[in-house]
Amino acid sequence: MTMPDDKFDELLDHVAAGRLDDLTPEQVTSLDTHLNAAASSSERLADVVPEADSRLSVIAPTPTDAEWDGVWQRIDSAAPARESAPRVIGRTIRFWQPLAAAAACLLLLIVWRLSPVQVPPGWEMRLSDHVVVHEIEIFGDDCVFVAYSDNESGSAVIWVFEAEEAREGA
Amino acid sequence: MNSVTRLNVDRSELCLVEQAARGERDARRELFERHREAAYRVALRITGRHEDALDVVQDSFIKAFERLGDFQRAAGFKTWLLRIVTNRALDLLRARKVRLAVPLDAGDDEPRFELPACNDAEQPGAELEYRELAERLRQAVESLPPEQRAVFALYALGEMTYGQIAEAVGVPIGTVMSRLYHARRRLHRLLEDLAPSEAKVEDR
């Protein structure tokens, strides 16, 4: 169906003025085709908010605060956010903690090797030539160091330093 | 798409979007709180169910935050988000239709639809009346074809322009106008008894 341009303008005026319901289905079909073919015409409607109808805008129910909180928690856990600066520092501290503990342990070994040793009569004291740091355990601010020492005689020594002792030793 | 949209870009919102794209949690939370109501309303109009609408809102925000890098800054975040919501809700409708197809497919092309009677006697309060009205509208909206339902859901927010609706649904403005016209017409017919003087729409 063809329609003169001024007729389309008239129909557009109706729609822009919020009187969409005044049009017939045939007029709407023609206008639809015209708008989709002519960008300049559709521009006239681009910024128009269609007429409101209070009967068609009621809505129920609305979510409760608890429901919204639950939705947010799931969104938040699904898309892990970047940590804020203080938490980055916290991670850095956690990263350096084991290294600091290892350095402290190394220092303890050096002190142990250089310190004078009380040897019971009849015993021979030899320094181990094979010392392995077997495990470092950290509980909060405390550090427990476990060293496994093995030499040719097959003897093993496990050193356990409690936090206080470790601090004193360091 | 030949629709032309002129969207007001909220600068403060653009900042929020950029912060959210960098992964800042507070910015994401702010965007969520700003747009959750609109997202919910659109989702509820399309799905017709509270729980489904909440799921759609949740999935849509997750997807939006994952794809903030794809967001075209020329468009409003809300319009972009509502496009995701609309698509997600329509996907859910299609999935539900597939699930229901086996038990309900008894040869009828049109889904069976019946509005509850408008019983305005013995209603104790305005809230109950409002809820009944909302329930009747919900059922009426469920009788719309999905593509009309999506346009109507965005229109019913009461603030979106033809251009924004076209952007959110991904169709030209003329199509939006046409779908809205038919949706409103059908709803007026189904809800005729609510306001007889306004709602009489005859087939012409």
Indicate the Cα dihedral angle A121, A123, A124, A125, nearest 10°. -90
Closest Cα partner for B85 from B119, B110, B62, B114? B62
Judged by CB atoms closer than 8 Å, whether chains meet at A82 and B133 is answered as no
Q: Scanning every residue of chain A, which has its alpha carbon at the shortest distance from the alpha carbon of B166?
A: A46
Whether the CB-CB separation of B38 and B157 falls below 8 Å is answered with yes
Domain spanning B103-204, CATH architecture: Orthogonal Bundle (1.10)
> CA dihedral in degrees (B8, B10, B14, B16; nearest 10)?
-150
pLDDT of A85: 45
Minimum mean pLDDT among A1-10, A143-152, B6-15, B53-62: which range?
A143-152
pLDDT at residue A129, as a whole number: 67
Does residue A16 form part of some domain? yes
Domain count, chain A: 2
Test B4 with A50 for CB contact under 8 angstroms.
no
Closest partner residue to A46 among B65, B159, B173, by Cβ? B173
Whether the bond into A61 is cis, omega within 30 of 0: yes
B130–A74 C-beta distance less than 8 A: no
In a domain, A145, yes or no: yes
Residues A52-65: tens digit of each pLDDT: 887 787 777 789 99
Task: Tell if the pTM clears 0.80, that is, is over it.
Answer: no
pLDDT exceeds cutoff 70 at B114:
no
Using CA coordinates, name the residue in chain A closest to B128.
Answer: A60
Q: Which of A31-45, B6-20, B23-37 has the highest mean predicted lDDT (pLDDT)? A: B23-37
CATH number for B1-98 (one of 1.10.3110.10, 2.60.120.10, 3.40.980.10, 1.10.1740.10): it is 1.10.1740.10
- Quick one: which of B163, B161, B181, B183 has its CA closest to B171? B163
Q: Chain A interface, mutation test: which of B49, B177, B194, B197, most A Cβ atoms within 10 Å?
A: B177
- pLDDT > 90: what percent of chain B? 51
Residue A133 maps to a domain: yes
User: pLDDT band at residue A120, thresholds of 50, 70 and 90?
Assistant: confident
Percent of chain A with pLDDT over 70: 57
Whether A142 is in a domain gets the answer: yes
What is the rounded average pLDDT of the residues A17-38?
90
Contact residues on chain A for B195, CB-CB shorter than 8 A:
55
Average pLDDT, whole number, for chain B? Answer: 80
CB B136 within 8 A of CB B191: yes
Question: For residue A66, is it within any domain?
Answer: no
Q: Which residue has the tokens 């409760």?
A: A64
Token readout for A158 is 């496990």
Residue A94 lies in a domain: no
How many residues are given for chain B? 204
pLDDT band at A93 (very low <50, low <70, confident <90, very high): low
Q: In chain B, which residues have their Cβ closer than 8 Å to the Cβ of A32?
A: 174-175, 177-178
Which residue does chain B place closest to A16, by CA atoms?
B162
pLDDT recorded at residue A61 = 75
The domain spans of chain B are: 1-98, 103-204
* Chain B interface, best mutation among A71, A77, A87, A88, by max B CB count within 10 A: A71
Q: Is residue A169 part of a domain?
A: yes
Q: Which domain does A154 fall in, by range? A: 129-170
